[in-house]
Chains A and B, each alone.
Chain A
Amino acid sequence: MRRAIAAAMSRSKREIPHYYLSEPIPMAAALEWLQARNAGVPITQRILPAVLQLKAVALALAEVPELNGLYRDGEFAPSAAVHIGVAISLRGGGLVAPALHDVAGRSIDDLMHALSDLVRRARAGSLRSSEMTDPTITVTNLGDQGVESVFGVIYPPQVALVGFGGIAERAWAQEGWIRAVPVVTASLAADHRVSDGHRGARFLAVLRDLLQRPHELAGTPAPPTGAQPPDGP
């Protein structure tokens, strides 16, 4: 496995001109929404923050489609569907990034169930081979390790990788005040043959805005006005 990872990553670094961007994203609105939601359902229906992040990535890609697809024979083919390769570390070492299919079109409950199943099967070694080749973009989440940010190596022939660090309280300045706010640093590694930093920045801005409106990610009605979550800086 280590050799396969080495081959793919060496090829990536040899062939793909990466550029990297990052953006701190306030998570107070998303976490408050999630806590309230999870408190009202049985434990088997609880949803992890990572699922909201995956859904937000998929929806943001609709605005910047040049990050979602495959680069082959000198040409980029965008993908209509968003199949996110979810980086899953294996307990014995190494990692795999099988596809979570059609993330944009599925409910967060459905995605949580599918993600849980994917992690279980990845660790049991029972993934389908198509799941390894289907991803159109990869998301890696190293938040549980306590790192602040992760800048990934694109998995060819994909053209982008989104990284999430841990959600942690940080000092956040807004409108002349400093508050302690849960923040996650999202990063983008993207292929300069297909997109540029301006479009990559647009992607991260849309991602940040989507995560301020968790009810929209979940497809539920908005909270009453007056309870608007803070925007980014």
Chain B
Amino acid sequence: MSARLAKGGRLIDRSKAHRFTFNCKWMRGFEGDTLSAALLANDQMLVGRSFKYHRPRGIVASGPEEPNGLVNLGKGDRLEPNQRTTTTELFDGLTAESQNHWPSLENDIGVVNNYAARFLPAGFYYKTFLQPRAAWKHVFEPIVRHSAGLGKAPKDRDADRYEQAYAFCDVLVIGGGVAGLQAALVAGRSGARVMLLEQTGHWGGRAPVDGVEIDGQPADAWVKTTVQALEAMENVTLRKRCMGAGVYDHGYVLADEKVADHTPGDGRPKHRLWRIRAGRIIAATGAIERPLSFAGNDIPGVMLAAAVRDYVVNFAVSPGDRTVVVTNNDDAYRTAIALHQAGLSVPVILDARLTATGALPEQARKLGIRVETNRAIAMVQGGKRVKRVSICAQAGEGAVLEEIACEAVAMSGGWSPVVHLWSHCGGKLIWDEATACFRPDAARPPLNHDGSAMVIAAGAANGALPAADTLADAHRAGEAASKPAGEAPKATAAEEAPMEAVWLMPQGAPVKLRAKAWLDYQNDVKVSDVQLAAREGYESVEHTKRYTTLGMATDQGKLSNINGLAVLADALNEHIPQVGTTTFRPPYTPVTFGALAGEARGEIFQPLRRTPMHDWHDAHGAYWEPVGLWRRPYCYTQGGESHEKSVHREVLNVRNNVGLLDASTLGKIIVKGPDAGRFLDMLYTGVMSTLPIGKCRYGLMCNENGFLSDDGVVARIDEDTWLCHTTSGGADRIHAHMEDWLQCEWWDWQVWTANVTEQYAQVAVVGPNARKLLEKLGGMDVSKETLPFMQWADGMLGGFRARVYRISFSGELSYEIAIPASEGRAFWEACLAAGAEFGVMPYGTEALHVLRAEKGFIMIGDETDGTVIPQDLGLGWAISKKKADYLGKRGQERSFLADPDRWKLVGLETLDGSVIPDGAIAVAEGKNANGQRNTQGRVTSSYHSPTLGKGIAMGLVLRGPDRMGEVLDFPKIGGGSVKARIVDQVFYDKEGAKQNV
């Protein structure tokens, strides 16, 4: 049984007990426990089931590398699947449930996969489920899907909030072990701005557990004084529970701070995502112990040796009365010694090496612990927990020499530096033969913009594993990131003899044992699977990974990768460095989506742009339509009328009385400077430089390929100032387009642009009574003579500073009035009051669309789709024939665009008065070479015209303008078709009499 020891535990506070549940069973733990420690203290060895075979799984590790201890944490709107027990701090009332089993953790039906394991080797699914064809979708895949997956899918909207913060520093130190502390101290003393991050809730890392002494005092004491020294420095920021997640280009680092994971519901954000820009990054991320590959190494109770030590020393948790230690290095002896000192039994230390004569083995022997060299575990026996181990010679093939009863196995295959952050942005690794690990190659670091090393690895993360080396290396790293700082503190720990790489235990293990020697505990990848992949030609390490799923589990291979590629290298008869590693990708440990999204949620998940009249619309029945980041009223409903009715009412009111449109979203870009005229002549297809002051001109903009991209009215304000109106959705894009050309191509032209869209509210007053309304407001002469069509004037209108444009997008008498944004709402209401006697009503975007379609005006995005040139739309009149050049001119001269046989804009009138469905396509005779029906045109805008009482449409039709009167056939979705006649696109007031009154 695993249990809580009566004494000890450097991280727990026995005076603060916490109650929590695991699978609905109440358990007890202490403040300072991780959930793993608390589960083990309650003899909960079995914590989950593996992915593929549903084998029993127990806790293996004590850090974020844990592959097995994953639970559904919390409930309802705080349910979090796949939460690691090793990194979850215990709090009172915590609820956790184990995953991936049915009906229960102890009795899981899915374990049939385990009994069939022999028939389910790596990649078996590529070789089967082939017949019958429909069975994959309907039978096999559903079974695979339901047995795969791990945690429960949450159902509710997240109850928590997340925030994001930005930080800038000269030196970012990631990892708060002794290496990170020392590096931060050196950098901090140099005066640099330093940020130090530690993923757990305490400082010091492994050194205090391993009994290291620094400058003659215990590591704990040194850590305490060092943290105090750092906290006293104003230029140093320390953050615990903050994991360095990813390193990106130019010193950009993401870090995830778990603010309230251990205090859920206390009102603080759950996580805080740090976006840090650092001059230098010191990766003091330590090292992770490797498992050993022996048969039954996945049975609950088999743990990493250092994890066992952590549980004993930090949490006073015994993994069982008797723990067998199996190792290829001296470090694991510390575990045996720690267990012994805690009063627990270590029946034997099995050392795969031929000799074990270092200080630690000697100390173990002196304590009376039996040490056996050239020994290995042939097989661990047990089901849901370890019962005994059978021992064999490491040099042999697994013949059992002895069986020893035990409750736990502590294994150590050596240590792998945590090189993730070094590697994210291109840092390269070298293979260290002596310690059998990949470590950062200082000669090939990830590079900053200036070619310097962006990341400096420090301490164990740099392969400096013994404590003395770790500190010295970290000191050097701190200096490299700031400036020389004198002597490094001296760490002392027991000398360690060289380790010896052991990738398979015993070395000649037959296939029966290899098929039980796990590499990836979560994904159920065994030594035999990697060997199978190699045998079948999946020789690249990436092929092996993908074929076997090795390293693709939630720990991303932190435990399994090196062991797996050593097996692969052996199978291929190559050296490990030749085989190489898979790519290290961010994040180091998984980061909650909510934290990555931050506070941009709900209404404000994207910026919300509101016009000055927004609230008025909202209070008056606006049915909103998103237009870019804006919201515009689609229509205003009155009483219980349908949206369609509202639109018809609004259209007719504009035609018969007067309507108000909030046109504030219209893009407004000031273009100014001595070269502004010349610039606009290049930007627009027409000539803007000759536009007289006080006048307006309709303009078209094309992209370099000649396709129409935006349109709008340009007004000449003064000698060197123009105001360009763009479409509502196009303002930002067009402004960027202008700047692109000005900054990249015509950088020597004297032109300045400013997007003033939000500086003005704009109201369109449209309809036969429009002039009367403005005259009622008073203050400006808006008569036909003083302000004719396509002119503008500044003045005071009804007491408002106004710029009045006489332009029309509806075919009616129409004024667009720009006023300062702050006065927009008041002006809008003044217009409504003044217009009351003339029948004024607001109208929305849909009425706007219908009005312009009745008049045959094009709409960017409807008549255009990125493949249409102005010439297709009958807009040749807006293209200057005199200009030498404009953007798009060359593009439009290409043969396909200059071809007269293009689809061109016409009006379409259904024979029966109905509305052609949106998006309908006119068919032609026959089929093309690919068997597709030939076509000859399509609808671009289609509406019911309340003015005319029938369906009207515009469309692009092959040689359309030359085919007036012809009838086209538009098939409908689901059968039948609509017949429509090609007509002129202007359905209403062809002479333009109404807008020129």
The judgment on whether A and B are partners is no
